[in-house]
Structures are given as structure tokens and as C-alpha cells.
Amino acid sequence: MIEQLIKKLSKDLEVPEAGLATEVPGCYSIPIAEGIAVALSPVVGGIQMKCSVAPFPASGGESFATDAMLANLFGQGTQGAILGLSLDGKTVMLSRVVDDGIGYKEFREIFDDFIVAIDYWRDEALTHR
């Protein structure tokens, strides 16, 4: 399933499919900006999208964390994705699981919304610094 979506996405983005593959079979990395890529990997029941958004703000971290928690509430401020932290707590992460059986058009809309959320929260994290 993920392979079919990646094939269409690579065509739309005009990036060779081979350029999106990672060392892990079935997993892909989609570059969206300098130093930012969306990782796509199969999970039980769907496909996970994950991205390192920005470093967690060194100053204003409490305010940023409050904003992030409110954004996660019902997914309203994250386009349906979830904001979190890396295991070491130093990087803001965004993730979303897309259900299996989704059509390409809906997948592409979700992917585009995910990129919008990355851009927004990257700016938010950097301005809180």
C-alpha cells in the first residue's frame, strides 16, 4: 500500500522514487525543505508520518509547551497530527498515522496538511527561542 502511494507522490513531487527510499525496506523520507524531511513508514493499520520540526525552545519553553498541548486538543492546531518531543526532550516532533486503505487524493491532502503544520510549528518554536 505505502509503495503505491509513494510512487504517485514521487511523480507529483517530481522526485525519483528511488531518491525517497531509506535504508529500511518499506520506509521513505520525503525532503520538504533544507534539513527537514517527512519520514513515512508502515505501522499496524496504516502509515506513520513523522518529522523533526525544530529544537525545543530554550527560553519560553513553558509557553510553547502550553501552546502545543492546546493545539493537540482535538487536533485543531495541528491539522490532525500530534506534537510531541524526541526521546531526549530536545526536539519538537510532529506525527500522524494515516489509516490503511486510504485513496491517493485523501493521502495527498493529509500529507499537504502535515507540511502546513510543520511550517507553522517550526515558526512557532523558533520565535519562542
- As a whole-number percent, the residues of the chain with pLDDT over 70 amount to 99
Distances in Å between the Cα of 117 and the Cα atoms of 3, 23, 113 are: 24, 27, 6
Checking if the pLDDT of 115 tops 80, the result is yes
How far is Cα 18 from Cα 31, in angstroms, rounded to an integer?
13
14 vs 3: CA distance, rounded Å = 16
Count CA atoms closer than 13 A to 30's CA, side-chain side.
24
DSSP 54-74: EEPPSSSHHHHHHHHHHHHGG
Domains of the chain, earliest start first:
2-127 (3.30.1460.10)
pLDDT tens, 16-63? 777 788 889 889 999 988 889 999 999 999 999 999 999 999 888 899
> pLDDT-derived band of residue 101, with 50, 70 and 90 as boundaries?
confident
pLDDT of residue 110: 96
Distance CA 79, CA 89 (A): 23
Report residue 129's pLDDT band, with 50, 70 and 90 as the boundaries.
low
Decide if 113 contacts 121 (C-beta within 8 A): no
3-state secondary structure 70-94: HHHHHHCCCCCCEEEECCCCCEEEE
pLDDT at residue 33, as a whole number: 85
Amino acid at 91: T
Q: What is the pLDDT of residues 55-98, one digit of tens each?
A: 999 888 899 999 999 999 988 899 999 999 999 999 999 999 99
Beta bridge partners of 52: 93
pLDDT score for 109: 96
Predicted TM-score of the model (pTM): 0.91
d(CA 100, CA 83): 22
